[in-house]
Amino acid sequence: MKSPEASILVVDDEREITELISLYLEKEGFAVYTSDNGAEALRIADTLIPDLIVLDVSIGKMDGIELCRTLRQGACADVPIVFLSCKSEDRDIIRGLSEGGDDYITKPFSPSQLVARIQAHLRRRRTRERSAEDSAGSLQFPGLEIDLRRLEVRLDSGVVPLSAKEFELLSVLARQPYRVFPLEELYRRVWHSESMGDTRTLMVHISNLRKKLEADPAHPQWVQTVRGFGYRFSPNNGCEEASPPASG
């Protein structure tokens, strides 16, 4: 089962492990990002907000369990985390899961088994997200409301007249605030087909959306660009200063 719309962050200080995991995940269509230390992993996670994190227990100065604890306090609070470890003692498994891990697999492991675990966690997460969306009538943020039933967007200044595609584009971004969406994924989600490498239509719609939504379209606050990667929705009206995450 391929998941071209899912991004995975792999954190391990053993290059052979990250290369092996990346190889198998990329074969399944995942976008894979790697890091060998906690500080860099936090930067990537805060920028990208991946769909799932594969995290080794021992990664140097900041161990994986400490990193997991930090991740759970930020934007990745709900992102599934699968721990990797050479240790099989019960206390390590219990410690990792008690600090916010969702699953645990010991080294050496079967790459196909890890892929199956990842796919299972992603399916469960998507099911929860769909249930939440079905029960939600609107997405509300300070100064902005996206009414999913009436298909209306309201700023403090009043209703914003959006086209159907502009509304769908904003809704996709706003359902997962701060998550960076690659151009290809946004195109698939809104136009329900492959872009075949031509994402100009998407960029034109982003430009039009900003003209209607932003106080200063040249310095967008709601719909931000992550240079070299894609777009994200920022409900805190931050400045457009994001850098692209490192790709493995």
Where do the structural domains in the chain lie, given as residue ranges?
Answer: 7-131, 136-233
Task: Flag whether pLDDT at 88 surpasses 80.
Answer: no
C-beta of residue 38 within 8 angstroms of C-beta of residue 67: yes
Position 89 scores a pLDDT of: 60
Task: Flag whether pLDDT at 46 surpasses 80.
Answer: yes
pTM of the complete model: 0.66
Phi, psi of 130 (to 5 degrees): -65, -40
Task: Flag whether pLDDT at 244 surpasses 70.
Answer: no
Position 90 scores a pLDDT of: 67
Percent of residues in the chain assigned helix, strand, coil, to nearest 5:
40, 20, 40
- What span, in angstroms and rounded, lies between the C-alpha atoms of 158 and 160? 6
Range of 6-15, 66-75, 85-94 with top mean pLDDT: 6-15
What is the arithmetic mean of pLDDT over 177-184? 90
CATH of the domain spanning 136-233, picked from 1.10.10.10, 3.30.1120.80, 3.30.70.20, 3.30.465.10 = 1.10.10.10
Better-scored residue on pLDDT, 11 or 121: 11
Position 16 scores a pLDDT of: 93
Task: Flag whether pLDDT at 142 surpasses 70.
Answer: yes
Q: 187-214: per-residue pLDDT in tens?
A: 888 887 776 677 888 888 999 999 999 9
Residue 55 host element (H or E): strand 52-56
- What span, in angstroms and rounded, lies between the C-alpha atoms of 87 and 107? 8
What is the arithmetic mean of pLDDT over 58-75? 86
Q: Does domain 7-131 have CATH number 3.40.50.2300?
A: yes
C-beta of residue 149 within 8 angstroms of C-beta of residue 137: yes
Confidence of residue 220 (pLDDT cuts 50, 70, 90): very high
Confidence of residue 94 (pLDDT cuts 50, 70, 90): confident
C-beta of residue 103 within 8 angstroms of C-beta of residue 10: no
Q: pLDDT exceeding 90 applies to what percent of the chain?
A: 47
Confidence of residue 138 (pLDDT cuts 50, 70, 90): confident
- Residue 178 corresponds to which tokens in the numbers above? 């701060």
Position 164 scores a pLDDT of: 83
C-beta of residue 158 within 8 angstroms of C-beta of residue 28: no
Position 238 scores a pLDDT of: 47
Q: Long-range contacts: 108-111, Cβ < 8 Å, 24+?
A: 109/84, 111/20, 111/21, 111/23, 111/24
Instruction: Quote the mean pLDDT of the chain.
Output: 85
Task: Flag whether pLDDT at 20 surpasses 90.
Answer: yes
b/e map of 168-197 (b: 16 or more CB within 10 Å)? bbbbbbbbeebbbbbbbbbbebbeeeebee
Nearest to 226, CA basis, from 213, 245, 212: 245
> What's the order of all strands across the beta sheet hosting 152-155?
138-141, 144-147, 152-155, 158-160
Check if 7-131 and 136-233 are the same fold.
no
Task: Flag whether pLDDT at 30 surpasses 90.
Answer: yes
